[in-house]
Amino acid sequence: MSGVIDVSRYAELFLTETQEQLLTINEALLRLERDDDAGAIDALFRAVHTIKGMSATMGYTAVAELSHEAEALLALLRAGTLRVAPHIVELLFTATDQLEVAIELAVAGRHAEASVGAIVDELSACCLRAMSGRAGSGGGAALGEVCELVVRVRVAADAPLRGVRAFLVVQKAGTLGALGTVTPPIEQLQAGEFGDWFTLQLITDTPRDDVAQALAGVGDIESVEIHAAADVARALHDAMTERAPAASPMPMASAPSDAPPATDARATRRTTNVRIELTRLDALMNLIGELVIARGRLTQVAGDVNDAALDDVAADAARLITALQSEIVTSRMVPVGQVFDRFPRLVRDAARVLEKQVEFVMEGREIELDRSMLDEIGEPLVHLLRNAVDHGIEQPAARLAAGKQAVGRLTLSAARDRSSVVVSVRDDGRGIDRARVLQRALAIGATDAATTELTDDELFRLVSLPGFSTAERVSDISGRGVGVDAVHGRVRAIGGALEMHSRPGEGTVVTLRLPLTLAIVRALVARVADERYAIPLTHVRETAAVSPEMLATVRGREVLLLRDEVYPVLRLRDAVGLPAGDADATEAVVVEAGGRRAAVIVDECEGQQEVVVKQFDAVRGALTIFGGATILGDGAPALIVDAASLLQRD
């Protein structure tokens, strides 16, 4: 097959793969900064090596060049030629940031804007200094140009103890510079489990001819081939785009030309996972949403017609649609760790800027959420974590003076709670200064002048006001008046609820209660006059018929007496602006959100339905107690009640 392969069509796949590797790099760097962990260095090397290979294949030269130099530095760390030090870790953090930018620019087709020269020079200079120190201590030849080599070694077919001979070659190479990847791994080499050839990567300032001579001198070595790693990567790219010269391309380190063929079992192995574009999953979710509406309509029509055959068809269709819905929703569920894993680096950087010491803990990374929901919570969590580091956790000296550990603890956790997921951000800092919040609220007229103390509910209401801030200075971390209000607005928009609890000197907990999915929820349909509303079952505790003797007044407030419980009453008619109805023909829906409960009085509870949530932008001045709209089974529209907002009106 002739012609040039357009590798740009693999750009999105490349971006997805490299983003996973970048997460691994950041996580490993944080481990390295804490513990000088050899395992972290190995993980870093593997991730950077993977990015280098993929970027060379795609022709992203800036990414390949930067990852190549970073890999060279990591190889020196692996070999012990260079020791882990704070300035080395900081250099690697900077290189990672530059690498992420270069990747995004390359995928966007803006190669020329990727400026990596300065960081590449800094990495290279660091390698040179390390190698110079090695050479100066008698560890090699006079200092020359440091480069990364791909070395292929062929052991003589009749050599005794071929595995031992191969291991001796690897040991010898280690005396010439820093060893990189060995293929196959050393354990297999020692066991003699390789073909005629094996491959290793070597970072060295020793001339190639001297390297070849030294390795061949081990004995029983038939051939040593040495190529520059950059030439190997270029050959791979040329082969992928079918631009290679007529001669056979240079053999790759990871795939020797005479490697044994795959076994039949390997060749016929079935693929168990496939990658699907997110737009396709979104389209499937929209279609199943329409099918759910059609299912409700079909079920209602079948009930009205009262035909046995139609009832059977409707039941079969409903069963199949339900099964299909379950499969599609499940396919969209992903662990919250995919978002959580971005935050250790963010917290680390914020703490360094503010000169604070923070231990960041993540819990419940395996809890699953709908992908679209996961996309929505990233930005709110960034606000909460930055606020916790800036406003919550104190400076080390202040913590010690208060009898605390110098290192503050910040916890991000996720847990399942019935049909919702609870995400919490908890710090052990100073807590919110209620006096300052009250002072600021009084200054702007946000609370009654007679108020002297703030409850948790009042505190949350004030700090979530648009633009409300007690910060005395504006920083890159927070203090711009965009924090809790932005979080509150975003969480409400996706059908969730937000609550906050703070204790002076002990810390603050902000909790996000989120539905598992944005698209389809089970809801109770309640009627008021001729209007119907959907209340998500996540917030419904129970329903009950209301008789006049169950209603009473306590301290001027109407309450509902239900068994041994007393609930404040909210009349949905009043909340939506409808005239009062027949008080004798009412039902109560006991709802709970944000740690508060109330009995919502409606005319009738019509039953449960699975409803498709349609987001909408409310007009200016509209009520804020609705979290979306839906189409009911009979084709009529209904608004979805946001229970948390409804209870906050109380």
- In the numeric block, the tokens 């001819």 are attached to 209
What is the value of pTM for the model shown? Answer: 0.67
pLDDT of residue 610: 82
List CB contacts of 355: < 8 A, sequence separation 6 or more: 395
Q: Are residues 164 and 233 in the same domain?
A: yes
Q: Are 518 and 494 in contact (CB under 8 A)?
A: yes
Helices 371-387 & 278-305, crossing angle to 10 degrees?
120
Q: Are residues 314 and 349 in the same domain?
A: no
Look at residue 10 and tell me whether its pLDDT is greater than 80.
no
List CB contacts of 315: < 8 A, sequence separation 6 or more: none
- The single-letter code of the amino acid at 350 is A
pLDDT of residue 355: 92
Q: Is 635 left (phi over 0), alpha (psi -120 to 50) or beta?
A: left
Look at residue 97 and tell me whether its pLDDT is greater than 90.
yes
Q: What is the CATH number of the domain that holds 577?
A: 2.40.50.180
- The single-letter code of the amino acid at 305 is V
How far is residue 183's CA from residue 195's CA, in Å, rounded to a whole number? Answer: 11
Range with top average pLDDT, 3-7, 15-19, 332-336, 404-408: 404-408
Domain boundary among 117, 136, 155: 136
- Name the percent of the chain lying above pLDDT 70: 84
Range of the domain at 198: 147-257
Domain boundary among 84, 109, 136: 136
Helix, strand, or coil (residue 156): coil
Q: Are residues 380 and 504 in the same domain?
A: yes
In this structure, the number of other CB atoms found within 10 A of the CB of residue 422 comes to: 19
Q: Are residues 235 and 282 in the same domain?
A: no
* Structure confidence by residue, pLDDT tens digits, 29-59: 999 998 877 889 989 988 998 898 888 878 8
Q: How many domains does the chain have?
A: 5
Token reading at 44: 């870093």
How far is residue 322's CA from residue 422's CA, in Å, rounded to a whole number? Answer: 26
Q: Is residue 15 included in any domain, yes or no? A: yes
Token reading at 499: 């609550």
Q: Are 151 and 199 in contact (CB under 8 A)?
A: yes
What is the C-alpha R_g of the chain? 32
* Structure confidence by residue, pLDDT tens digits, 336-393: 988 898 899 999 999 999 999 999 999 999 998 888 888 888 888 998 999 899 989 9
Mean pLDDT of 510-526: 84
Q: Are residues 531 and 446 in the same domain?
A: no
The dihedral over CA atoms of 573, 575, 577, 580, expressed in degrees to the nearest 10, equals 30
Residue 389 DSSP class: I
Look at residue 269 and tell me whether its pLDDT is greater than 80.
no
Q: Is residue 356 included in any domain, yes or no? A: yes
Q: Is residue 346 included in any domain, yes or no? A: yes
How far is residue 644's CA from residue 379's CA, in Å, rounded to a whole number? Answer: 21
Cis peptide before 184 (omega within 30 of 0): yes
Q: Is residue 267 included in any domain, yes or no? A: no
Q: What is the CATH number of the domain that holds 381?
A: 3.30.565.10
In this structure, the number of other CB atoms found within 10 A of the CB of residue 396 comes to: 16
Helix, strand, or coil (residue 510): strand
Q: What is the CATH number of the domain that holds 25?
A: 1.20.120.160
